[in-house]
Amino acid sequence: MIILEQVQINTAFSILLIILLGHAYFNTNRRKITNKLFLWVIGLTCFILNLETASVLLNDANFKQFIVLHKMVDMLGFILAPIILYLGYIFSKEWVNRYQKEKIKTNYILLLPLFINGIATLISYNGSGLFYITNNNIYQRGNLFYILPCVCYIYFIYNLYFLYKQRKKLNDSELIIFSLFYIVPAIFTLIQLMYPIYLTTWNSAAMITVVTYVFILNDQSHRDSLTGLENRLSYEHYAENIDYKKHNKLFMVYIDIDKFKAINDLYGHCEGDEALKAFADLMVKSFLTTKKKLIRLGGDEFLILFEETKPEKVANHIENLIQHMENYNNLEGRPYRLKFSYGMACYTDNYKSLNELLDKADQLMYEKKQNRKK
């Protein structure tokens, strides 16, 4: 009865992942490395779920004639299992790299556990490696079985460490979702290790893959494709759903690049796009705190939202941006110099909505820009 239930659950998740894979294939930009990697994660997770189902069905003394097929199915599943986790690390790295000028290098030492697991799996065909199949065609854990869970937990732990190390380059939602992408399977893998009759590992992996894909779609709709910052839709969603009572202080910085039209007119729109991407990169470098939202409202207009109680800390971040921008102007040797004007406002009970605060910050920015022209 339990075996039948496990097969039914695996089949249901497999069908769901196949639908998800089809949707992702036709509705995401497959040229983006992050989308391409996640397609592989979905496909391999679905494939291993089906391998697990086949292994359960073949694990029967009445199917002795299929003992070689049983071994091959289990070997393939054991080899592929940690590969998905390694792909998860590459996905996380590329996600952080998406809009960063300085790319994070791949840690190729992480390929070593895959090699060790692969050797241990190949040994299993003729002996007691990770597993063995008895003469009655029954699966049993081998003497080296715990190599696989050890390898998997190396990836679980390293991926979580990597996310923690890069946390300042991720927003809260990204950090939570991508952490759960490893935490949930890690917990259910432990359950399956303790109670082998329950096949919880890949069911949980399929479940969190679905949740992560929904998050990726939502992120793409709220992300500016040129700069990688959040877009106006993200701001509007935030403004409509913010609970002002939970924020002791909310600062808004409205930024406009000076003489941006001249850059487009004199050097072309491609150079203008490069200027926007460079400025966005400088913003990311300058505002290294998790309690913030970096937004491109459109054109050369940017917005920064801070959950901060001390205005001097906000001012320090702005000074960092000015310094980074000066360094950029001096080192890059562009035929123009990036400059910006800004207006900063703090939310109080005098404002009825975030849009009123936006208008105030915009007004202050405009006044500074006019004073600079004078």
pTM score, whole prediction: 0.82
- Highest mean pLDDT, choosing among 133-142, 152-161, 288-297, 350-359: 152-161
- Which residues are CB-neighbours of 148 under 8 A, at least 6 positions away? 78, 81, 82, 117, 120, 121, 130
**How many residues are given for the chain?**
374
Tell me how far apart the alpha carbons of residues 302 and 12 are, in angstroms, rounded to a whole number.
45
Q: Compute φ and ψ for 140, nearest 5 degrees.
A: -140, 145
CA proximity to 325, closest of 367, 271, 284: 284
Model pLDDT for residues 106-150, shown as the tens digit of each residue: 899 999 999 999 999 999 988 778 999 998 999 999 999 999 999
Please provide residue 317's backbone torsions phi and psi, each rounded to the nearest 5 degrees: -65, -40
The domains found in the chain, sorted by start residue, are 2-221 (1.20.1070), 232-373 (3.30.70.270)
| 314: pLDDT strictly greater than 90 | no
- Kindly report, residue by residue over 209-249, the tens digit of the pLDDT: 999 999 999 888 888 888 888 999 988 888 887 765 555 57
DSSP states along 301-367: EEEEEE--S-HHHHHHHHHHHHHHHHHHHHHH--SS---EEEEEEE--TT-SSHHHHHHHHHHHHHH
Question: Amino acid identity, residue 225?
Answer: S
Strand partners for 141: 131
Q: Could you report the per-residue pLDDT of 142-176, keeping only the tens digit for each?
A: 999 999 999 999 999 999 999 999 988 888 888 99
Range with the poorest average pLDDT among 8-17, 26-35, 240-249, 353-362: 240-249
Q: What is the reported pLDDT for 306?
A: 82
